[in-house]
Amino acid sequence: MQRINSDIKQNNFKQIYLLYGEERYLKKQYTDRLHKAMCNEGDSMNTHFYEGKDISVGEIIDLSETLPFLSERRVIFISNSNLFKSGGEKMAEYLASPNETTYFVFTESEVDKRSKLFKAVQNNGCVVEFGVQDENTLKRWIAGIVGRDNKKIAERTVTLFLTKTGTDMENIQMELEKLLCYCMDRDVITDEDVEAVCVNRISNHIFDMVNAIASGNTKEALSLYYDLLALKEPAMRILFLIARQYNLLLQTKELKQKGFSDKDIASKIGVPPFVAGKYVAQASRFKTSDLKAFVKRCVETEEAVKTGHMNDVISVEMLIVSA
């Protein structure tokens, strides 16, 4: 990211950029910055956008060979092309020696670093990965936005906020805008404000459902299940998420028994560090044998639905009741 900022500041651009990774918000932000810096406003003659797996590489190469019209450069933006996973060989060959007045900005979610196209960009341009940001980075970013709005928020409230939004910065921004509007006439954002405004992710409903099951509160677990159905969540997706949760708890319990720290557990099971403690606490309420047995029942439930022996909605309901 610093490299792109430096190029923009110095007005000295690489001919090829590849922005990739899971963090959509940052990819969009830096793509927009490059667009604004490299292209004249409203210049549709020399600025081109291609998106999707069905783009024509031949067409793009032909366009690349065309000199810019009353401008020093032609810029081609290509997003979600999948060329960095398959079918990018022709583009890789061209980028080894492209028309010097044509510039490229690729934006992708996933890439194969072994591909010829990835190596071509790496050798002749700038590659930047935008991964999921860590907890401290997200907290500083949130605090900065809140501060610019002349408001304050305690660290514990930010942590609560993140448990509801997850680490996706696009989702964080949307929820934060709602929160700031809700607290417009006050200087301090509280836990109560977060609870009142921010939407729980589906995974939070599943977490609470499993908590209710662990506590023997079948009524609460079923209530959460019906809430998800009311939100138009398919029963089989709910089943998948329940099975996933129990799998994560099983992994968490086994890792904890081996002496791993919460931070290491978070890394190994693929959850943000700030929620690892919740997983450890939840896993401690189950026996390893019970977690394995429930995961097995989830598999059996899925099989019963797929083979037509059970209705999907009723099957998940029975799974919860029998837990």
The predicted pLDDT at position 270 comes to 82
pLDDT of residue 215: 80
Residue 5's pLDDT is what?
Answer: 93
Provide the pLDDT for residue 205. Answer: 81
pLDDT at 187: 94
CATH ID of 202-322, from 1.10.10.60, 1.20.272.10, 3.40.50.2020, 1.20.1440.230: 1.20.272.10
pTM over 0.85: no
Domains 2-129 and 135-197 share a fold: no
Q: Is the dihedral of CA 140, 145, 149, 155 positive or negative?
A: negative
Question: 2-129 — its CATH code?
Answer: 3.40.50.300
Would you list the domain boundaries of the chain? 2-129, 135-197, 202-322
pLDDT in tens, the chain (323 residues): 789 999 999 999 999 999 999 899 999 999 999 999 999 988 999 999 999 999 999 999 999 999 999 899 999 999 999 999 999 999 999 999 999 999 999 999 999 999 999 999 999 999 999 988 888 899 999 999 999 999 999 999 999 999 888 888 988 999 999 999 999 989 999 999 999 988 777 777 888 888 888 888 899 999 989 988 987 889 999 999 899 899 999 999 999 999 999 889 988 988 877 778 888 999 998 999 999 999 999 999 999 999 999 999 999 999 999 87
**In this structure, which CATH number among 3.30.750.24, 3.40.1190.10, 3.40.50.150, 1.10.8.60 belongs to the domain 135-197?**
1.10.8.60
